[in-house]
Amino acid sequence: MRIRFWGTRGSIPVALTAAQVRAKIAAALRGARGKPLATDADIDAYLDSLALQDAGTYGGHSSCVEVETGGPEYVICDLGSGVRAFGQAALARHGAVPQTYHVFMSHLHWDHIMGLPFFGPAYIPGNRIVIHGCHAQLREAFLRQQAAPSFPVDFSELRAQIEFVTLTPGQSYPIAGMQVTPKLQLHAGDSYGYRFESQGKVAVYTTDSEHTLEDLSATAAFVEFFRAADVVVFDAMYSLADAISVKADWGHSSNIVGVELCQLAGVKRFCMFHHEPAFDDADIARVLADTRRFEEITRSGAPLEVLAAYDGLVIEL
Amino acid sequence: MEFASRRYAEVAVASPIGRIDHASADAFRLALEPMLAACKAGGDCVLLDFSQVEYISSVGLRVLMLAAKQVRAQQGSIVIAAMQPVVKEIFDISRFSFVFEAHASIADALAKLSPAALAAYQPD
């Protein structure tokens, strides 16, 4: 199983500004003084020595995560703006040869559905797109976003065969060669996490999920949902202090709670996701360093690998 | 977790001992309750002596957040002092450093809260 991130930003897509790009270039050039840069290999080696926040970016697309199983059908979580790039890659690979795309929707808020009108395969006859979710308004949400006056292309003009499948939380389904289990989460209008199991590997996608810490049984239920996962992709949008004070009831969680839940559940990798849009690359890198340190000082068993998702990250399980 | 308390003038000192986690956070909350009730404008100040706290989890931090909110609403003063390095790191990483006024020692905290309390202070 392989997890590929196409969109990792929370709430709204963001882009680097010209000033931010210039600052990265200037810092890289300053750091290059005195280093051998005569050949392309020298330059590549120097760039490889820089951290992601210095030589690249965490990216700005809203939620879209691919779960690769090696099977013939595609599986993605959420249709945020990242699905546009995913669609381009799929079209580059297959052209007009029909494909099946299974989509698992965490919920129907704007940042998680906004990519569908820009998903190229949706316009190509013969493609099959199966949108799975637990919300009763699954179909309505997608039709409404493309209705006038909000978008110029009506949903009915999408030429792919688009199906909507309502799942029941807590029930396990065989889909695309995996067992998929949704779980109800705390978020305005509800959200759902998904546990994907295939060939002895487990990935959990849990975004837009608030943990209030009031109810120990709710915590225990998430620990079971995460149990022994190879990776948990987790909404770590806020600091703990913000998540339980000024941003309580905003429907998101923190790096601290994510690490604690994963430690209790014996998870191998904790991947922070749904990054705060106000954060620049240095902010996210600082949260990553802090979170790795927190994992280290609270560790009582096997180490938990801590990652911060970025657009383009691939995790091999 | 064990819990001890003492008083210097109008400063009530709460001293939890051990780990404040899911198993002990509720006991910690209950132990703090009467001290928080008296922590208001013109009343007591509360000093959290964390010198013997080895670890605090998110559930324990939530108890502190609720305490800070209550005291703020009552226009009282609550501060924390003498955190062990690991607990201080947890405070910093969770951004609780922005929620609580923290002091390196009990004496430093008392000096800030009340000259009378500092005068009455007898270090262990």
Output the pLDDT for position A34.
96
What is the CB neighbour count within 10 angstroms for residue B6? 13
Question: Is B14 in contact with B31 (CB distance < 8 Å)?
Answer: yes
Kindly list the strands in the beta sheet with A74-77, ordered across the sheet, starting from the edge strand earlier in the chain. A161-166, A128-133, A100-104, A74-77, A64-68, A2-7, A314-316
**Burial, A44: exposed, middle or buried (Cβ in 10 Å; 0-12, 13-18, 19+)?**
exposed
User: Is 90 exceeded by the pLDDT of residue B91?
Assistant: yes
Distances in Å between the Cα of A99 and the Cα atoms of A4, A69, A158, A267 are 18, 15, 15, 33
Is A256–B62 a contact, with Cβ atoms under 8 angstroms apart? no
What is the CB neighbour count within 10 angstroms for residue B122? 6
Q: Which residues pair with B19 in a beta bridge?
A: B55
* Closest Cβ–Cβ partner in B58, B65, B86 for A256: B58
Q: Dihedrals φ, ψ of B88, to 5°?
A: -60, -40
- Sequence-distant (6+) residues with CB within 8 A of B11 are B44, B45, B46, B47, B110, B113, B114, B117
Output the pLDDT for position B1.
87
> Quick check: A295 contacting B, CB < 8 Å?
no
Helix (H) or strand (E) holding A78: none
Pairing relationship of beta strands A231-235 and A201-206 according to DSSP bridges = parallel
Report the gap between the CA of B119 and the closest CA in chain A (Å).
34
In chain B, residues with a C-beta closer than 8 Å to the C-beta of A216 are 22
Is A298–B90 a contact, with Cβ atoms under 8 angstroms apart? yes
Output the pLDDT for position A197.
98
Radius of gyration of chain B (CA): 13
Full set of structural domains in chain A with CATH: 2-15+57-316 (3.60.15.10), 18-55 (no CATH)
Neighbouring C-alpha atoms within 13 Å toward the C-beta of A14: 19
* Closest Cβ–Cβ partner in B57, B86, B95 for A260: B57
CA dist A216 and A213 (Å) reads 7
Residue-averaged pLDDT of chain A: 97
* Closest Cβ–Cβ partner in B57, B93, B96 for A290: B93
Q: Which residues pair with B12 in a beta bridge?
A: B7, B46
User: Is 90 exceeded by the pLDDT of residue B123?
Assistant: no
Per-residue pLDDT tens digits for A190-199: 999 999 999 9
CA dist B83 and A205 (Å) reads 36
Over residues A150-165, mean pLDDT: 98
pLDDT interval class at A289 (50, 70, 90):
very high
Over residues A83-95, mean pLDDT: 96
Over residues B105-109, mean pLDDT: 97
Q: Dihedrals φ, ψ of A2, to 5°?
A: -140, 140
Chain A, window 204-223: residues with a beta carbon less than 8 angstroms from a chain B beta carbon: 213-214, 216, 219
Per-residue pLDDT tens digits for A219-232: 999 999 999 999 99
Over residues A84-95, mean pLDDT: 96
CA dist B54 and B5 (Å) reads 18
Output the pLDDT for position A253.
97
Q: Looking at residue B101, what DSSP letter applies?
A: E
pLDDT interval class at A143 (50, 70, 90):
very high
Question: Is A5 in contact with A307 (CB distance < 8 Å)?
Answer: no
Probe site for chain B from A210, A214, A240, A296 (most B CB atoms < 10 A) = A240
Output the pLDDT for position A62.
98
- Hunting for tokens 């039709």 — which residue is that? A143
In chain B, residues with a C-beta closer than 8 Å to the C-beta of A234 are none
Give the helix, strand, coil percentages of chain B, each rounded to 5: 45, 25, 30
pLDDT interval class at B122 (50, 70, 90):
confident
> Quick check: B4 contacting A, CB < 8 Å?
no
- Class in CATH terms, B2-113: alpha beta
Over residues A115-139, mean pLDDT: 98
> Quick check: B26 contacting A, CB < 8 Å?
no
Report the gap between the CA of B120 and the closest CA in chain A (Å).
34
Output the pLDDT for position A96.
84
Output the pLDDT for position A106.
98
User: Is 80 exceeded by the pLDDT of residue B98?
Assistant: yes
Question: Is B60 in contact with B21 (CB distance < 8 Å)?
Answer: yes
Question: Is B8 in contact with B117 (CB distance < 8 Å)?
Answer: yes
